[in-house]
Structure 1
């Protein structure tokens, strides 16, 4: 898609045009939670009692608000429950058998709301969306004018613009619809895990994810018989989780015994003056402090003005984008989730920076150029 758009505007002398023409499309399903979270963050920011509760920390926050007697706490909980009903299926590992969804692991969205409440009003998703839409429409008008004398080039531009718009929206909506259906199937299994945790059979609700769906009936009949099975499977799971899965397009998967450990220092940290290269996903330049986040549960570590550096992203990461000055991701493509959402929010983004989470030191000062696809370490 971006290749076709690059080709359509190739003769205009600006390699960043394709990226800019796909910004601020609107109606992107995976970006919708941002606006809802932003409003919850404003509710907290404008209320002294809610601010005081959030200032105490995320641990125990929901319990404090649900048991509190203030009207502001009750209003927040009502609106938070509405948010969970609409967007609770989202998570950061939506391909997982038992992902940490916002509905089952509410500390995660509360942490994201906590970051949003600290942001200046200029970071509001609606403000950014309006700006990006105006800029895209003006740029499109200028390009149409420049191609007015070339009917074939103009027709190609119109066709590709429409295709990019439809693809971006349908990709994110299709994923959203699928996840909602999966969530409804996962919730009863999660509830089963909760109940057997309360009975003392399981150590935590997540233990239920170590069973096959075909084993659930047998588990209910004789739960104790599956305790050693679950323990053994967790042992394998934890061992595999320490490894870095290789990315490949074609061919055979390398043997697991050859995979590197995620924490292995296989890449030298980038020194001052180093320029890392990737794929520009959203135009714009930003300078700030790098914050390495490998798990969105660590979102409260991200301070206003910092640059998010992540291994990869899924829709559950999206609200963190709003709190970041720019985004750098180890893997991704121009039409991946991170790219589409960053363009919708107007946040400079560079994808496909191999080993970024290892090469970039937490706390390093960076400049991210989303048009050029570069990350400069200062």
Structure 2
């Protein structure tokens, strides 16, 4: 027989419990976010220098214990998923086949998505630099020497504002879920490179104009919903309630991610200091080697274990390099056979289908970004093509005219950011980073969910 069905009263109880968890997460979130931010403030490199390895390990355990007891991630994600499913169910019936594009547009420019603010902030920094000759001259100079920025930009308004930006977003990173990934405040040259690309491109719309356009598009989408529903007041009230709820939890999802990275930064600081002390003692070759040890192994090192840790790290670095060369399948099965399914993306040699995650239409040249190093070649008004939307790549979105990714969905962090910024984007276009090349000219229809190659490079 099929799977066992729950009794109706168990389903009702489960629904009530889920709703309670979702609402509780929203109430607890602000206080928990403040705690995570404080973790990064307390656990800085300078403040931890005098601690012994055992004390550093104790601090890591304390952070882990606090995190496990208060994390609200899954409840917030449930709130987002619930809101989207409810609106999908309702709008399909009320709005017809155009419901998806309409909802994507209605979710633009919510104004409270913290991860999207960094995109606009960097664009604003570029505008400010254009008005300050000393800053502009440094940022467009050849050869480019970003490591000298603190000296060359001393006394400028730009440097002061850039410092404020780093104080807010310096704990973010490319590939930020990986503790090994350097944070922006450790490598600010990447962000300066984005500002430089803004300055080297054409002087387009101001940040204020972009915001006005996004707000106007959102208002038109909501007006269209209201016109379609007409005087059906119960439907209008139902839509308004679920729409407000979805917007609230989308913003919470990004705020949670933003503050989780404060927690991650604190853990990274503690871990790197352990690596620094153990490499100075000759136990490890370099401080970054500590990232190749498990938590249990780190305690063994702290306890004085005589194991050959250097050789263990060498073996694991080699394993990581081998794994990096593997093409990971979208699906895994117990039989170790990858289910192929229907390929819904490859239609012809020059036309691919995916999932529209942010409405709009744009044409432009392609820029393939597969690694952090590739990010430096991104130019203004190019179509950014990536395997996934890494939230740490958000600064690049201010340069992009559109976005195409191989994997992603409506609720992903990247999707929330691109919608907030109003960037046409299509996800789940399989193998697109291998099908397109830098310089190919494509048309991205993020309403229909298609990507068409117009000219090959």
Query: TM-score, normalized by length of structure 2?
Result: 0.71
Q: How does 1:53-72 map to 2 (within 5 A)?
A: 53-56=138-141, 60-62=145-147, 64-68=148-152, 70-72=154-156
Residue in structure 1 matching 2:437, options 361, 370, 375:
361
C-alpha distance in 2, partners of 1:102/1:253? 42
Which position in structure 2 is the counterpart of 1:177? 259
Contact 1:26 1:129 (C-alpha < 8 Å) held by counterparts:
no
Q: How does 1:169-248 map to 2 (within 5 A)?
A: 169-193=251-275, 205-216=287-298, 219=301, 225-248=308-331
Q: How does 1:325-344 map to 2 (within 5 A)?
A: 325-344=401-420
Structure 1 pair 32/374, CA: closer, same or farther in 2 (3 Å)?
Answer: same
Which of these two proteins has the greater Rg computed from alpha carbons? 2
Cα drift, residue 359 of structure 1: 1.2
Structure 1 pair 186/132, CA: closer, same or farther in 2 (3 Å)?
Answer: same
Q: Which moved more, 1:307-316 or 1:184-193?
A: 184-193
C-alpha distance in 2, partners of 1:197/1:81? 31
Contact 1:108 1:297 (C-alpha < 8 Å) held by counterparts:
no
Deviations 1:342-361 (A, max 9, x none): 11111110011111111112
Does 1:275 pair with 2:359? no
Deviations 1:200-242 (A, max 9, x none): 8766543221122343465466899422221111011111111
Contact 2:140 2:199 (C-alpha < 8 Å) held by counterparts:
no
Does 1:311 pair with 2:387? yes
Contact 1:280 1:350 (C-alpha < 8 Å) held by counterparts:
yes
Which position in structure 2 is the counterpart of 1:145? 227
Residue in structure 2 matching 1:9, options 91, 96, 117:
91
Structure 1 pair 271/59, CA: closer, same or farther in 2 (3 Å)?
Answer: farther
Does 1:167 pair with 2:243? no
Structure 1 pair 281/369, CA: closer, same or farther in 2 (3 Å)?
Answer: same
Structure 1 pair 6/213, CA: closer, same or farther in 2 (3 Å)?
Answer: closer
C-alpha distance in 2, partners of 1:238/1:120? 40
Contact 1:271 1:377 (C-alpha < 8 Å) held by counterparts:
no
Contact 2:138 2:153 (C-alpha < 8 Å) held by counterparts:
no
Contact 1:2 1:18 (C-alpha < 8 Å) held by counterparts:
no
Cα drift, residue 317 of structure 1: 0.9
Q: CA RMSD in A?
A: 3.1
C-alpha distance in 2, partners of 1:215/1:58? 45
Structure 1 pair 223/327, CA: closer, same or farther in 2 (3 Å)?
Answer: farther
Residue in structure 2 matching 1:320, options 382, 396, 400:
396
Structure 1 pair 336/57, CA: closer, same or farther in 2 (3 Å)?
Answer: farther
Structure 1 pair 136/59, CA: closer, same or farther in 2 (3 Å)?
Answer: same
Which position in structure 2 is the counterpart of 1:45? 130
Structure 1 pair 167/56, CA: closer, same or farther in 2 (3 Å)?
Answer: same
Structure 1 pair 368/226, CA: closer, same or farther in 2 (3 Å)?
Answer: same
Q: How does 1:66-105 map to 2 (within 5 A)?
A: 66-68=150-152, 70-72=154-156, 75-105=157-187
Cα drift, residue 26 of structure 1: 1.3
Contact 2:347 2:353 (C-alpha < 8 Å) held by counterparts:
no
Which position in structure 1 is the counterpart of 2:426? 350
Query: TM-score, normalized by length of structure 1?
Result: 0.84
Structure 1 pair 208/53, CA: closer, same or farther in 2 (3 Å)?
Answer: farther
Cα drift, residue 87 of structure 1: 1.0
Contact 1:6 1:17 (C-alpha < 8 Å) held by counterparts:
no
Does 1:287 pair with 2:369? no
Structure 1 pair 318/124, CA: closer, same or farther in 2 (3 Å)?
Answer: farther
Q: Which runs of 5+ in 2 are unaligned?
A: 1-82
Deviations 1:114-172 (A, max 9, x none): 22334555455543233212321233134223313223322332122112211211111
Counting matched residue pairs gives 362
Q: Secondary structure at the match of 1:317?
A: helix
Deviations 1:271-299 (A, max 9, x none): 99721100111111110001100123322
Q: How does 1:107-122 map to 2 (within 5 A)?
A: 107-120=189-202, 122=204
Structure 1 pair 198/54, CA: closer, same or farther in 2 (3 Å)?
Answer: farther
Which position in structure 1 is the counterpart of 2:119? 34
Deviations 1:334-376 (A, max 9, x none): 1212221111111110011111111112211100011111000
Q: Secondary structure at the match of 1:330?
A: strand
C-alpha distance in 1, partners of 2:306/2:152? 38
C-alpha distance in 1, partners of 2:273/2:143? 23
